[in-house]
Amino acid sequence: MSERALVIERLNKIFTTPNERVVALREIDLQVKQGEFITVIGPSGCGKSTLLKIVAGLDVEYDGKVELNGQQIKGPSLEKGFIFQEPRLFPWLTVEKNIAGDQSLKDPKVRGKVHELIRLVKLEGFEKAYPKELSGGMAQRVSIARALLRKPDILLLDEPFGALDAFTRSHMQEVLLNIWETNKTTMIFVTHDLDEAVFLGQRVVIMNPRPGHIKSVLPIELSFPRKRSSLAFQEMRRTVLNEFEKVEEESYTVGAGI
């Protein structure tokens, strides 16, 4: 974990619409090491999705340095996987074909890799199932496997478990940690859920809106596997919550024009 995979320096992003000019991100500085798991939380509108899209290369209209492995990000590429809140699968394709995408399952290498990923995301037996036969959590696991087939250096996840029930969500967190520990893929995970941020992240980035900026970056010095019921976890959660409440108070104050 010594190499810096992602270097963001003085990143600024402004949206200009006919009616207004929104400073979505102001002076963002962040460095993420190879293989690190970063979670990002913050109130609605603080620029979490905008930041993730810029790193993904889905939005290239920005100012500042955003480098992945020493290369300025200028567009999407196979090095960067993106997981949206909803799985976005092709309904007419089976699980294995959704994962394979434009790669042919007739190729034994592709087939082997797809089936390895199906095991990794715990979907054995569902290779030939169609998306409509899957639960929300299963469908999201298919989309994660699809992203992993391209062997991304970094996986960017925008509230991927936001639509799932609490039980499935907690299961998916375990599945994702298992993938991370197996593949050592760098992860940036955006969430609204403080518990999820502390459970998954090695560092939690707390953002503040108007304009969107990084308020603090807190290291989560808890070894894996983590236990929510442990005293250490509860204490860490409280520390992050205290910081987060300051952000919420500030954003309320700014929002209310006080």
Ligand X SMILES: Nc1ncnc2c1ncn2[C@@H]1O[C@H](COP(=O)(O)OP(=O)(O)OP(=O)(O)O)[C@@H](O)[C@H]1O
At 7, list the tokens: 């270097």
Polymer length in residues for the chain: 258
The neighbour count for residue 220, using CB atoms within 10 Å, is: 20
| Subset of 186-225 contacting ligand X (CB under 6 A) | 212
Binds ligand X (CB under 6 A): choice among 35, 47, 152, 160: 47
Q: Does 163 bind ligand X (CB under 6 A)?
A: no
CA distance 118 to 125: 9
Q: Does 247 bind ligand X (CB under 6 A)?
A: no
CA distance 144 to 7: 24
Work out how close the CB of 49 gets to ligand X at its nearest, in angstroms, rounded to a whole number.
3
Q: Does 254 bind ligand X (CB under 6 A)?
A: no
Backbone angles phi, psi at 213, to 5 degrees: -150, 170
Binds ligand X (CB under 6 A): choice among 50, 186, 191, 251: 50
Listed ranges 45-53, 88-96, 107-115, 129-137: which one lies at the site for ligand X (CB under 6 A):
45-53
CA distance 220 to 200: 9
Which residue(s) pair with 30 in the sheet? 8
Work out how close the CB of 40 gets to ligand X at its nearest, in angstroms, rounded to a whole number.
9
**How many residues of this chain interact with ligand X, rule: CB under 6 A?**
13
Angle at 225 between CA 222 and CA 231, to 5 degrees: 50
C-beta closer to ligand X: residue 14 or 105: 14
CA distance 211 to 181: 35
Work out how close the CB of 1 gets to ligand X at its nearest, in angstroms, rounded to a whole number.
27
What binding mask, one character per residue, do residues 1-20 give for ligand X by CB under 6 A, x or -? --------------x-x---
Which spans of this chain sit near ligand X (rule: CB under 6 A)?
Answer: 15, 17, 22, 24, 42, 44-50, 212
